Amino acid sequence: MWKWWNRLSIFLIIAVAAGAIYAVWPNEPDRYLPSFIPWPSGQGLPGKILGIGLPCHTAHTSASNPAADCKGMTLGLDLQGGSRVVLQAVVPANSKLTPADITDGIKANKQIIESRINPLGVSESQVQVSGSDRLIVEAPGITAQQLQDLTRPAVLMFCEGLQQGGQSGAGAALAVVPDGSKVYYEPGTCQPNVDAKGAVALKDAAGNIAKNPDGTIQRVTPTYTTAYNTENVVWTPAKGDLNGAPTIMTGQFLQRNVSVQFDQLGQPQLIFNMTKDGQKVFGSLTRRIGGQTNGLPLATFLDGEPIRGADGRVIAPRVQSEITSTGTTTGLTLADAQRLKTFLNNGAFPIQMKVIEQQTVDATLGDQAVLHSVQAGLIAMLLIMAFMILYYRLPGLLASMALVIYTAVVLAIFKIGLPGSGPVTLTLAGIAAFVLSVGMAVDANILIFERSKEELRNGRSLIPAVNAGFDRAWTSIRDSNVSTLITTAILYWMGNAFASTLIKGFALTLAIGVVISLFSAITVTRSFLRLALATPLARRLWLWTDDKPDYDERTAGALGPAEGADA
């Protein structure tokens, strides 16, 4: 038994185990392990071996570990905290969009969202297309507010005060509603809902058009006055002239080089340049309203809400002269100016989208979940190992060693990733799958050991009994694990169909666990057993079984199992 290839396999197992343990050793072991032992802190080894990127353990840079982008386990949103949204394209009933248009629009939207994520400096965020008309945005470590910014349509519209007759024509008097009444605008625009008598619709608390108890639309008739302010004036889309056609001035007429600068007083201001068409539209627009006495106010609406300044009031400077190439907006906070810049430079979604599902997890909750799951995993492993050692004695001890190696190897695979793919994202469900796979890894050993004990009972000697245990248990182990792999494959497919990273993560983790457990329970345990069988331990039968078989050297190995004798 004690042959050169056996030495080699033991050597390889020890090498793989040592490498795996080194790779997965946490940089804060005191968090998970009893702290009275001064555990060494993991350092990791940044770099590549055979094309596989190796992990390192800490995000902190130091003299000994200069790689700043070192990462630990790749954690999913539920463990790391962060947000996930599913967006669906909104196609108006009478639109002429073809399915191909929608697909292209979704792809463009994806790029826009990605370009909005980049300035946030969020790593490992993901934007993926799901089905024909959906986008899934997953961004770890971002807040609900930032998530809203990622997914907003970003339609910028310039708006002027509504004038007599529901139009924006000549005359300096603007429509004004009583203080406190909230005017309803069509979604994403500053288009009020004006009826034939000139009364404008109001909006309710949820932002929808307000209804009277009898179902009619609540309206208020504005008064027309020159004594307006930016808060009570009724806005309407500002139109300019583009080659003879009245055209609403929107963000699409701005060049994508909006910048934030500071004026002489140190106040931030947003500088934007018009495109060629934009110069015509904005030029004719500002010529018209700037020609009024004292000029008229011009507001900007982003996604149907007026842009407000640091003081909380709508920003609507009076335009007093024609502006063609460059405009400025002042009065914004620096943070808002920066955000607006991001929106304007990346453009609006060509296809409108709505949020159909969203999820936000607080980072502290994820942190707790990691701690608890690791502790649960450790306790589960200790219980299983204690059971195996008490029940199966020496083979149980060897199986426990194989289990530790199994755990280290699987975690190392999660951390480093399989060749050709990135690290496996660990989720709460994934951890559950992993702990379950530990239980299943032990099952293979239980099958083998039970079988070996049976063979011993049937009168075989130790070495043939152990070998028979492995050989005979193999078909059971193979068939049962194949059926589990079939289930994981279907789960993975289902996870894809649901676009559920949770289910996919669970399936992938379980599949990796099952495959590695086959290797550890068969190869690793068998190598250890061969090693033990070659030592004097093999002569102490009490280490191998609690039975007292009629151990007979003469018949040992020669006798087949006496099945059916008692039937």
User: By C-beta, is 485 or 556 nearer to other proteins?
Assistant: 485
76's CB contacts (< 8 A; 6+ apart) are: 140, 425, 426, 427, 428, 430, 501, 502, 505
User: By C-beta, is 45 or 380 nearer to other proteins?
Assistant: 380
What gap in Å lies between CA 295 and CA 318, rounded to an integer? 5
Least Å distance, CB 309 to other proteins, is 6
Q: Which helix (H) or strand (E) holds 491?
A: helix 462-498
Tokens of 259: 């910048």
User: By C-beta, is 506 or 544 nearer to other proteins?
Assistant: 506
Residue 497 exposed, middle or buried by CB count within 10 Å (0-12, 13-18, 19+) = exposed
User: By C-beta, is 147 or 413 nearer to other proteins?
Assistant: 147
The 3-state DSSP class for residue 124 equals coil
What gap in Å lies between CA 45 and CA 53, rounded to an integer? 10
Residues in the chain: 567
Least Å distance, CB 250 to other proteins, is 15
Least Å distance, CB 414 to other proteins, is 17
CA atoms within 13 A on the CB side of 446: 12
Phi/psi for 470 (5° steps) reads -65, -45
Tokens of 470: 């492995």
Least Å distance, CB 302 to other proteins, is 5
Least Å distance, CB 200 to other proteins, is 18
Least Å distance, CB 357 to other proteins, is 5
Closest by CA position to 24, among listed 460, 434, 335, 561 = 434
Closest by CA position to 509, among listed 440, 447, 443 = 440
Tokens of 314: 């709508």
User: By C-beta, is 433 or 524 nearer to other proteins?
Assistant: 433
User: By C-beta, is 274 or 511 nearer to other proteins?
Assistant: 511
Least Å distance, CB 476 to other proteins, is 4
Least Å distance, CB 282 to other proteins, is 20
User: By C-beta, is 195 or 357 nearer to other proteins?
Assistant: 357
User: By C-beta, is 316 or 538 nearer to other proteins?
Assistant: 316
Closest by CA position to 469, among listed 458, 479, 480, 482 = 458
Least Å distance, CB 98 to other proteins, is 21
Phi/psi for 239 (5° steps) reads -110, 145
User: By C-beta, is 3 or 478 nearer to other proteins?
Assistant: 478
Least Å distance, CB 507 to other proteins, is 8
Tokens of 271: 């500088």
Closest by CA position to 315, among listed 279, 278, 272, 269 = 269
Least Å distance, CB 209 to other proteins, is 14
Contact status, residue 48 vs residue 440, Cβ threshold 8 Å = no
Phi/psi for 3 (5° steps) reads -100, 175
What gap in Å lies between CA 208 and CA 187, rounded to an integer? 9
- Structure-token match 């390192």, residue found: 56
User: By C-beta, is 224 or 349 nearer to other proteins?
Assistant: 349
What gap in Å lies between CA 287 and CA 234, rounded to an integer? 21
Closest by CA position to 256, among listed 366, 378, 319, 344 = 344
User: By C-beta, is 84 or 280 nearer to other proteins?
Assistant: 84
CA angle 101, 107, 108 (to 5 degrees): 90
Fill in the amino acid letter for 323: I
Least Å distance, CB 472 to other proteins, is 7
User: By C-beta, is 199 or 380 nearer to other proteins?
Assistant: 380
User: By C-beta, is 178 or 312 nearer to other proteins?
Assistant: 312
Least Å distance, CB 49 to other proteins, is 33
Residue 415 exposed, middle or buried by CB count within 10 Å (0-12, 13-18, 19+) = buried
What gap in Å lies between CA 187 and CA 201, rounded to an integer? 13
Fill in the amino acid letter for 28: E
